[in-house]
Amino acid sequence: MSENKRNELTGDDHDGIDRRGFLKCMAWAGAGVLYVMEGGVLKSGTVGDPSEFGRASSSKDLLFVQISDSHMGFDKPANTDVTATLQAAIDKINALPTSPAFVLHTGDISHLSKPTEFDTVDQMLKQVRTERIHYVPGEHDVLGDDGREYLDRYGKGTKGSGWYSFDAKGVHFVGLVNVANLKAGGLGNLGADQLQWLEGDLRHRSASTPIVLFAHIPLWSVYPEWGWGTEDSAQALTYLKRFGSVTVLNGHIHQIMQKVEGHVAFHTAASTAFPQPAPGTAPSPGPMKVPAEELRKLLGLASVDYIRGRQALAVIDTTLEGA
């Protein structure tokens, strides 16, 4: 059976009671812990029916899926067959009771920015039963050619190094690029041009619009010692202060991690390729070799339900186990 982790995140409180004070992070151990926030109140319990995964069914609801870090081309001991595990993720998506409206790929599509690596992923993702796939680049996708190969393939209609926004079912999605022009000694970086664009993109939206930001490197300080953070993310988040519901989806760290800070919920997705160690638990963040039977428990994808009227975004992580 799949292991699901469920995390329901709530934005505006329509009864006028500010319940933000109730929000806090809950530490969990192991799999199968339910992590729910409804009406601003944190609830927890164990996962019951995994068929809840992907339950958005009303035409007003929105279901989408996040996959990340497919690292096509990687062939080291941590996972010698990243094609098979990406295929397992695709099979999981296609087994959802409701097809997702779209899929977000939060970067590191390829391992070395090679055209053949992008080609393989593109071909494979054509099997996904969804309307379209939205991408942001990871640092592995912009190697060698300042991101030209990436932009030629995925950059149509985007600005700068590939940032853009779109709307779906009343939710505003913003894809940000924090892997371009990285500076020595630094972290991920958005840069002044992108920040200016972001401010303008959000300026005229109503505060009740749910916002989903997605980018490769975490937009919160996960573990700066390993470069797991973004230099100027605090500036970006100031533009989001007035919004009641903000969800930030990232990849890069190849493990599930989440944090709620006021009205902003941060979430990182697992990789479909290989796991990386928890912050500070290894000499470096390099690929983590685990026993073969453990690998798929540490890989996965995230499914996100937005249920209109409840102003809630529910993030459900599913591992590739059993696929």
Partner 1 sequence: MRHPTARILAAALALSAVALAGPGRAADEPPAKAVEIKIDNFAFVPEELTVSIGTTVTWLNADDVPHVVRTEDKTIKSPPLDTDDTFSYTFEKKGTYSYFCSLHPKMVGKVVVQ
Q: Which residues bind partner 1 (CB under 8 A)?
A: 76-78, 111-113, 139-140, 143-145, 182-187, 225-227, 283-287
> Alpha helices of the chain — where are they, by DSSP H?
82-94, 115-125, 148-154, 192-203, 233-238, 292-295
- Of the candidates 279, 278, 299, 274, the one whose C-alpha atom is nearest the C-alpha of residue 289 is 274
Q: Which is nearer to partner 1, 12 or 139 (CB)?
A: 139
Cα 144 to chain centroid, rounded: 25
Q: Which is nearer to partner 1, 106 or 311 (CB)?
A: 106
Question: Which residues are registered as beta bridge partners of 33?
Answer: 46
CB of 121 to partner 1, least distance (A): 17
For residue 322, give Cα distances in angstroms to 64, 134, 246.
21, 27, 32
Q: Which is nearer to partner 1, 225 or 261 (CB)?
A: 225
CB of 178 to partner 1, least distance (A): 12
Cα distance between residue 182 and residue 186, in whole Å:
7
CB of 180 to partner 1, least distance (A): 10
Question: Coil, helix or strand for 28?
Answer: coil
CB of 41 to partner 1, least distance (A): 39
Q: Which is nearer to partner 1, 38 or 152 (CB)?
A: 152
CB of 199 to partner 1, least distance (A): 25
Judge contact between 42 and 24, C-beta under 8 A.
yes
Q: Which is nearer to partner 1, 11 or 287 (CB)?
A: 287
Q: Which is nearer to partner 1, 162 or 227 (CB)?
A: 227
What secondary structure does DSSP assign to 199-229, as a single string? HHHHHTS-TTS-EEEE-SS-SS-SBGGGTBS
CB of 113 to partner 1, least distance (A): 7
Give the relative orientation of helices 115-125 and 82-94 as an angle to the nearest 10 degrees. 30
Which residues touch 40 (CB under 8 Å, ≥6 apart)? Answer: 10, 13, 18, 19, 20, 22, 23
Q: Which is nearer to partner 1, 100 or 147 (CB)?
A: 147
CB of 140 to partner 1, least distance (A): 7
Cα distance between residue 35 and residue 315, in whole Å:
9
Q: Which is nearer to partner 1, 31 or 112 (CB)?
A: 112
- Position 123: which residue type? Q
Q: Which is nearer to partner 1, 145 or 152 (CB)?
A: 145
CB of 75 to partner 1, least distance (A): 9
What secondary structure does DSSP assign to 113-175, as a single string? --HHHHHHHHHHHTTS-SSEEEE---GGGS-SSTTHHHHHHH-TT-BTTTBEEEEETTEEEEE
CB of 214 to partner 1, least distance (A): 20
Cα distance between residue 209 and residue 6, in whole Å:
23
